Amino acid sequence: MPDTNTIWSGVIPALTTPFLPDGNVDHAFLSKHAALMIQSGCKGIVALGSLGEGATLTNAEKFDILRTLIRTLDGKAPVIGSVSSLSTHDAVEIAKTAESLGCKGLMVLPPYVYTGDWREMKAHISAILSATSLTCMLYNNPIAYKTDFLPDQVAELMGEHSNLNAIKESSADVRRIAALRSLVGGKLNILVGVDDLIVESIYAGATGWIAGLVNAYPRESVELFNLASQGKKEDAAKLYHWFLPLLRLDTVPKFVQLIKYAQEVVGLGSARMRPPRLELSDEEKEEVQVLVKVASAERSH
């Protein structure tokens, strides 16, 4: 098994999925974009997550995306596949296939649509963890998925599955980091999944950032993470203040549309979406344009 502390640390983009005008996945740009993220200092790639519009992709498309990313990175950085499905059986198959394709880790989500009790959610997650030898990161996002994996439940899962080595904590409650650390110590790598909470979370003990706006601002994201991690609080605070208006795009229901449009505005992608998501209205686009313009002007001084 790869060094889990290496895999689950630093800035790891939750990569957006680019689409061609005909609605198919743009594999050429996907490859180029992933390479840019790593060249900018990111430590790996998380594919097929919420920001990657995983819920709108077929399994065949998911596996083709993983193949493209694994071929592109060619061992230079880990590809982490997201495991999300309506059914436990399908989620297990996704996990097995992702491992066979060459993913180095998995991000494990609760099932879409159905929100069960702890017994049911534990059984779902356990089935996935048991189906793979890969190091895994549990995705806790009660705001989006209505399932909240509490610290004592995470500890229980860890006690039964040695390959649960990380959590993407997106509850937006920074106190969860201290609670997790008090229960499991350094056995669990805690990564932040909320862009506008990154600096506070690092100071609380987070080891990584599953980032969204990094798709449009890779170098700035890596710089912010490094400054905060190195304890350079004054420099981190200055950059964070500049970045926050953009980072907040990651925290609203249309975060996928907003981040993809920000990518288009800065020349690092396309705003094309897969329905039911639609591109932003002209008014919404103008708001993003203003944010980018102001940020660009401030950064140049």
Q: How confident is the model at residue 185 (pLDDT cuts 50, 70, 90)?
A: confident
Interval 75-130: pLDDT, tens: 999 999 999 999 999 999 999 999 999 999 999 999 988 889 999 999 999 999 99
pLDDT at residue 3 tops 60: no
CA atoms within 13 A on the CB side of 81: 31
In terms of Cα–Cα distance, which of 221, 170, 148, 161 is closest to 188? 161
In terms of Cα–Cα distance, which of 53, 58, 34 is closest to 44? 34
Q: How many of the other CB atoms lie within 10 Å of CB of 253?
A: 9
H/E element holding 108? strand 105-108
| Local structure of 181: helix, strand or coil | helix
Model's pTM, two decimal places? 0.96
| Local structure of 112: helix, strand or coil | coil
Third-level CATH fold of 4-232: TIM Barrel (3.20.20)
CA atoms within 13 A on the CB side of 112: 13
Q: How confident is the model at residue 2 (pLDDT cuts 50, 70, 90)?
A: very low
- Mean predicted lDDT score pLDDT of the chain: 96
Interval 134-172: pLDDT, tens: 999 999 999 888 899 999 999 999 999 999 999 999 999
